Amino acid sequence: MSSQLPLFLREHAPFLLFILLVVGALGLELLVRRLVVTRLKERLVADAAVITVVSLALFGAGWQLSDYYKEWVFRELLRNTAILVAALHLTRAVHLLTGKRGRKKLLPYLAFIVAYLLSLFFLFPPVQNAQVLVWSVRLKKLFIFLGATAVVWEIGETLKNEFVARIFRLSSTTAMLLLFGLWEVNYLNFNFKTLIGIAIIVFLTAVFTFAYSKGIPELVKRVCKELPQQDSKVVENNLKSLLTVLYLILLVKLLSGFSNLGSLFDKLENAYLIKTDLVKISVGNIITFGTLAVILFNLLNIVKKLIKLTFPKERREVEGGSAEALIFNLGVLFNSIILLSTLGITWKVILPIAGTLGVGLGFGLQTIMNNYVSGFILLFSKKLKVGDIVELPSVSVSTLGSTSPSVFGKVEDIGILSTIIRTNDGVEISIPNSSFISSPIVNFSLKDPYVRLKIPVGVAYSSDPKEVKRLLEEVIEELPYTVRFLPKMVRFEELGDSALIFRAIFWIDVRKDMWVRNIISDFYFRAWYKLKEAGVEIPFPQNDVWFRNSLKVEIERPNLPKEES
Whether 465 and 438 share a structural domain: no
Among residues 423, 445, 467, the one where a domain terminates is 445
> Is 558 a residue whose pLDDT tops 80?
no
What pLDDT was estimated at residue 188?
A: 67
Instruction: Answer whether residue 512 is part of any domain.
Output: yes
Q: Which domain holds residue 527?
A: 450-533
- CATH number for the domain including 394? 2.30.30.60
For 489-520, how does the pLDDT look when each residue is reduced to its tens digit (9 = 90+)? 999 988 888 888 999 999 988 888 888 888 99
CA distance linking residue 415 with residue 406, whole number of Å:
21
CA distance linking residue 461 with residue 359, whole number of Å:
72
Whether 433 and 456 share a structural domain: no
Stated pTM of the model: 0.58
What pLDDT was estimated at residue 503?
A: 92
What pLDDT was estimated at residue 81?
A: 86
Instruction: Answer whether residue 12 is part of any domain.
Output: yes
Measured in whole angstroms, the distance separating CA 249 from the mean position of its chain's CA atoms is 21
For 69-120, how does the pLDDT look when each residue is reduced to its tens digit (9 = 90+)? 888 888 888 888 888 888 888 788 777 767 666 677 788 888 888 888 888 8
Q: SS3 sequence, 259-297?
A: CCCHHHHHHHHCCEEEECCCCEEEHHHHHHHHHHHHHHH
What pLDDT was estimated at residue 311?
A: 73
CA distance linking residue 510 with residue 410, whole number of Å:
10
Instruction: Answer whether residue 132 is part of any domain.
Output: yes
Whether 143 and 183 share a structural domain: yes
Q: What is the mean pLDDT of the chain?
A: 77
Query: Beta strand 280-282 with 418-423: parallel, antiparallel or unpaired?
Result: unpaired
* Structural domain count, the chain: 3
Reported as a pLDDT band with limits 50, 70 and 90, residue 159 is low
Reported as a pLDDT band with limits 50, 70 and 90, residue 26 is confident
Whether 383 and 523 share a structural domain: no
Please state at what angle helix 13-35 crosses helix 72-98, rounded to 10 degrees.
Answer: 20
Q: Which residues 6+ apart lie within 8 Å of 35 measured at CB?
A: none
Whether 58 and 43 share a structural domain: yes
Please state at what angle helix 262-269 crosses helix 229-258, rounded to 10 degrees.
Answer: 110
Whether 387 and 529 share a structural domain: no
Whether 499 and 389 share a structural domain: no
CA distance linking residue 105 with residue 95, whole number of Å:
8
CA distance linking residue 252 with residue 175, whole number of Å:
11
- CATH number for the domain including 462? 3.30.70.100
Among residues 445, 470, 500, the one where a domain terminates is 445
Quick one: average pLDDT of 367-391? 75
Q: Which residues pair with 456 in a beta bridge?
A: 503
What pLDDT was estimated at residue 559?
A: 65
Whether 483 and 420 share a structural domain: no
CA distance linking residue 129 with residue 122, whole number of Å:
10
Instruction: Answer whether residue 349 is part of any domain.
Output: no
- More reliable by pLDDT, 347 or 383: 383
Q: First CA to last CA across the chain, in angstroms?
A: 151
Instruction: Answer whether residue 291 is part of any domain.
Output: no
For 238-267, how does the pLDDT look when each residue is reduced to its tens digit (9 = 90+)? 888 888 888 888 877 777 776 666 666 677
- More reliable by pLDDT, 68 or 38: 68
Whether 428 and 526 share a structural domain: no
Whether 437 and 504 share a structural domain: no
Instruction: Answer whether residue 376 is part of any domain.
Output: yes
Instruction: Answer whether residue 438 is part of any domain.
Output: yes
Whether 425 and 460 share a structural domain: no
DSSP line for 11-22? HTHHHHHHHHHH
> Is 7 a residue whose pLDDT tops 60?
no
Among residues 445, 463, 496, the one where a domain terminates is 445
Long-range contact pairs involving 188-197 (C-beta distance under 8 Å, separation at least 24) = 188/259, 188/260, 188/261, 189/259, 189/260, 190/259, 192/63, 193/258, 193/259, 194/258, 194/259, 195/59, 195/63, 195/83, 195/86, 196/59, 196/60, 196/258, 197/254, 197/255, 197/257, 197/258, 197/259
CA distance linking residue 494 with residue 63, whole number of Å:
102
Using CA atoms, how far residue 41 sits from 37, 45, 90, 339, 561, in Å, is 8, 9, 22, 43, 104
Whether 487 and 393 share a structural domain: no
Contact 137, 183 (CB under 8 A): no
Instruction: Answer whether residue 480 is part of any domain.
Output: yes
Q: Which residues 6+ apart lie within 8 Å of 485 measured at CB?
A: none
